[in-house]
């Protein structure tokens, strides 16, 4: 009886602590995602502002900084969501991952609009597709390649990562549009694609804009 009670107490404490940690992880990730969403809202307003007062000279500089900041933020958030999701037991992280995927797609679309609106040929937005549910060793390596390029290119390379196997309608449309069938998969600029693991040199060789900063 004592052993049963002790087991119950330890088990309840363990599950409670585990639940608390899960909640901490979940709340932390949700807060960051909310912040990223608010940044996306701000970007939307910025773009609207630019379209309304076309040619405002302050816009392009401010928006470039904004996109780089949000891009880096989302990048870190992506790593956190992946790790937290793996450590998580009781909370459903898929909903957060879906929001994260949509925030990235949204920011990627803004970055394309920004590139056009501000006429910045050296700026390279990249949409990076990877699987969330399966092991993809090449994707881990591709993420490192993109991170190393980003460190050299700063605002001229904007990477937006999308977990592609969460069955999100918009993401599925994008996958179909670009013919995403395997991972890692990159959409560089508006429509150029890379469908296999590529080193920094290979990417720089193929995309001159990257060669300049790398």
Partner 1 sequence: MDLGQWAFLAANAVFLFMSLVILIAFLENRSSRDPVAKKHPSITVVIPAFNEEAHVAKTIRSALSLNYPSKVNVVVVDDGSTDNTLRIARSFGKQGVVVLHKQNGGKASALNYALKRVSTELVACLDADSTADENALLAMAGFFNDERVGVVTPAVKVFPGGSLLQRIQSIEYSVMNYMRKSGAFLDAVFCTPGVLSVFRTGALRGVGSFDEGNLTEDLEIALRLQKSGWRIESCLNAWTYSDAPSSLGELLRQRLRWYCGALANGFKHADMLFNKKFGHLSAYFLPMNYVAALLLVFIIAKVSFDYALAAYRFVAEHVSYLSVGVTPTLAQIVSENADPLYFASLQALVGAASLLLFLFALKISFDSTGERFSWWHAPVLCVYVLFYGLVVGFAWASSIAVHFSGVKKKW
Binding site for partner 1 (CB under 8 A): 2-4, 6-7, 10-11, 14-15, 17-19, 21-22, 24-25, 28, 79-80, 83-84, 86-90, 135, 137-138, 140-142, 144-145, 148, 197-200, 202
Residue that is written with structure tokens 């949509």 in the block: 102
Cβ proximity to partner 1: between 26 and 160 the closer is 26
Q: How far is CA 56 from CA 70, 112, 129, in A?
A: 22, 18, 34
For residue 32, the SS3 value is: helix
Distance between CA atoms of residues 137 and 119, nearest Å = 36
Cβ proximity to partner 1: between 36 and 102 the closer is 36
Cβ proximity to partner 1: between 118 and 197 the closer is 197
Cβ proximity to partner 1: between 45 and 90 the closer is 90
Rounded least distance, CB 37 to partner 1, Å: 22
Rounded least distance, CB 164 to partner 1, Å: 18
**How is residue 119 written in tokens?**
């006429």
Distance between CA atoms of residues 53 and 35, nearest Å = 27
For residue 163, the SS3 value is: strand
Rounded least distance, CB 84 to partner 1, Å: 7
């Amino acid at each position: 009886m004592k052993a049963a009670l002790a087991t119950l107490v330890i088990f309840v404490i363990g599950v409670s602590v585990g639940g608390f940690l899960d909640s901490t992880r979940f709340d932390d990730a949700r807060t960051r995602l909310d912040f990223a969403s608010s940044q996306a809202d701000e970007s939307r307003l910025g773009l609207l502002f630019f379209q309304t007062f076309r040619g405002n000279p302050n816009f392009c500089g401010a928006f470039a900084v904004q996109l780089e900041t949000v891009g880096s933020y989302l990048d870190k958030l992506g790593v956190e969501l992946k790790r937290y999701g793996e450590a998580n037991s009781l909370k459903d992280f898929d909903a957060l991952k879906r929001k994260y995927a949509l925030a990235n797609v949204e920011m990627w679309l803004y970055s394309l609009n920004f590139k056009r609106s501000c006429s910045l040929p050296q700026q390279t937005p990249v949409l990076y597709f990877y699987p969330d549910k399966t092991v993809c060793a090449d994707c881990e390596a591709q993420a490192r390649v993109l991170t190393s390029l980003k460190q050299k290119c700063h605002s001229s390379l904007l990477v937006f990562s999308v977990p592609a196997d969460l069955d999100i309608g918009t993401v599925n449309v994008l996958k179909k549009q670009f013919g995403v069938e395997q991972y890692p998969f990159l959409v560089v600029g508006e429509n150029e694609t890379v469908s296999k693991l590529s080193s920094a040199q290979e990417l720089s060789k193929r995309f001159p804009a990257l060669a300049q900063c790398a």
